[in-house]
Amino acid sequence: MLELAVAAGGIGTFDWDLVSGRLMGDQRLLDMFGLPRNRSVLHIDELYEAVHPADRDRVEALLQQAVDQVGVYDAEHRVVLPDGGIRWIAARGQALAGPDGRTVRLLGAAQDTTARRDAAAHVARVMDSLPTVFFLLDRHGRFAYVNAEAQRRLTRPADELLGRVIWDELPAAQSSDVETSYRHAIDRDEPVAFDAYCPKPLNAWYEVRAWPSPEGLAVCLLDVNDRRQAHAAAQLHGAPAEPLAARALQASEMQLISRHAAAVLAATFPPGPAAEPLLADLAPESAVVVPLRGNTQPVGMLLLCAGAARGGFSDDDLELVGDIAARAGVVLDRARLDSTTIATVVTAHLQPIASPPGAGRRSGGAVDAVWAGGAVDAGRGSGGAVDAGRGSGGAVGAVWAGRAGGGGRLRFSNAGHLPPLLIAPDGTVTVLGTTPADPLLGVGPVPRHEHHVHLPPGSTVLFYTDGLVERRGQPLDAGLADLRRLLRHLAGSGPDTVCDAVLGLLPDRPEDDVALLAVQVTGA
């Protein structure tokens, strides 16, 4: 009966005598290794020679380990047949000790597993062709198989994942609903199915399905990002450009997203490269949108996100967020009103000059060049004002310039810019108002300083922002020196010519916005 069972299973047996070095194998074992049937007695080296070269060192090491420890030998490896064919063999043996406790014999059996291996390889090829994440975990959470899509999404090849514990590779998912569900499936031998946001490196919502087996857990992840976003958009009444912002501002109330914040926010923001990487990086599970209220109207909005590991927002959290938003809204409203009031007062007390023929505005990429062409007659007594630009962050930076009295005297005040330059008819370049510029408009109740300069006929004054002369890796003084050298050669040139030449100092891709204003004095 034993012989029938062994024959039915296609099992070959072997008996290795370590004292003599002889190995006795039955005909089925000889057939597996491609050895002649008339050789029932072999030497162990003959079996080693038949083992595939890539597996030989591993097989020798496992056999030696079983011998040294008087333990169990267990290995699956390839053999190379005389015709060049490849066969897979699974072998298992038990070492037996002599009177002195050292191994003297190793008895074992081997089975041809080529058909099973081929079937597994076929299944693997099929699984690799699927655009779905699929992997197998053993009962300790170690990767036993990962298909091609799983390797792509996890950004790791199979040889770096196999044998690794999943929670070491996905630490952000540890102690989450995902881990709880996996352990539930294994411990209770029950399949599970649920939706979950999987953090880096997966960075997406998936429908997770997991099936337990005696070996561990088979897991399939189906990307449902598009489906969830469409569902969230439907819940948000068609998802206008900023529905959460609109609801928060219109109702002047806090808006709380307690679950699935990533999908809701993805459907909220306009699609494109701006929001998607940010949401993927934040991976929010919950979020809160709070309007920033000013004295008369909302002035902005605050968005706070929390990941799944942190948990949702508690009542204490929401109370603190509301208090912060209330204080921030008042501060922003005050800053906005201060800047608007100052700019309005300044503008109301200035009489804008009409742009002479040739005045214009040029814009190209990061360059915003603004200048007044033509000339101002030094014999006329009208005053004038020019707004040379608005600084970043909402604060106002301006230059006011006007004719003061008769002759050629210029009266100006500088808020936040570098001092202007005067180009005399003889080519001399002079820095005007060398004292530090006053702060930007709206920055505190500080006194403003006026400068009074004599302008000879034929002279030109150039007002400019620091983007013209400031470069990364270059001192500001070097940029100013280059500008002054250029201006010496532009004496007597018209404002348009001066501005065109000065813009030639800029690199092909300027690092900052640039504004220019050239004013030339003519007449007696």
Question: Which CATH number goes with the domain that contains 418?
Answer: 3.60.40.10
**Rounded to 5 degrees, what are φ and ψ at 474?**
-130, 130
* Contact assessment for residue 177 and residue 201, using Cβ atoms and an 8 Å cutoff: no
Average pLDDT rounded to a whole number, residues 189-204: 78
Tell me which of 352 and 472 has the higher pLDDT: 472
Is the pLDDT assigned to residue 186 strictly greater than 90?
Answer: no
For residue 445, what pLDDT band results from cuts at 50, 70 and 90? low
Percentage of the chain lying above the pLDDT 70 cut: 72
**pLDDT for position 103:** 92
Number of domains in the chain: 4
**pLDDT for position 389:** 32
Last residue of a domain, one of 206, 223, 240: 223
Residues 298 and 433 in one domain: no
Average pLDDT rounded to a whole number, residues 315-327: 84
**Rounded to 5 degrees, what are φ and ψ at 387?**
-90, 115
Average pLDDT rounded to a whole number, residues 227-255: 54
Residues 319 and 215 in one domain: no
Residue 331 inside a domain? The answer is: yes
Residues 242 and 303 in one domain: yes
423-434 pLDDT tens trace: 999 999 998 876
Q: Domain span at residue 69? A: 2-113
Is the pLDDT assigned to residue 492 strictly greater than 50?
Answer: yes
3-state secondary structure of 112: strand
The CATH number linked to 311 is: 3.30.450.40
**pLDDT for position 100:** 92
Residue 139 inside a domain? The answer is: yes
60-84 pLDDT tens trace: 999 999 999 999 999 898 899 888 8
Is the pLDDT assigned to residue 154 strictly greater than 70?
Answer: yes
Residue 349 inside a domain? The answer is: no
Pairing of strands 376-377, 516-522: parallel
**Range with the poorest average pLDDT among 106-115, 189-198, 225-234, 282-291:** 225-234
Average pLDDT rounded to a whole number, residues 265-284: 68
Nearest to 204 by CA among 268, 146, 280: 280
Last residue of a domain, one of 113, 138, 171: 113
Residues 215 and 242 in one domain: no
Q: Give the containing element (helix H, strand E) for 423.
A: strand 421-423
For residue 261, what pLDDT band results from cuts at 50, 70 and 90? confident
Average pLDDT rounded to a whole number, residues 404-427: 77
Q: Which structure tokens are listed for 56?
A: 């030989």
Q: Helix crossing, 275-282 with 261-268: angle to 10°? A: 170
Average pLDDT score, the chain: 74
Residues 216 and 248 in one domain: no
47-58 pLDDT tens trace: 888 889 889 999
Residues 405 and 503 in one domain: yes
**Rounded to 5 degrees, what are φ and ψ at 449?**
-110, 140
CA distance 430 to 419: 10
Total count of residues recorded for the chain: 524
Residues 374 and 495 in one domain: yes
Residues 334 and 375 in one domain: no
Residues 336 and 406 in one domain: no
**pLDDT for position 435:** 67
Q: Tell me how many degrees the CA angle 325-331-334 measures, rounded to the nearest 5.
A: 135
The CATH number linked to 10 is: 3.30.450.20
Residue 408 inside a domain? The answer is: yes
**pLDDT for position 442:** 53
**pLDDT for position 346:** 46
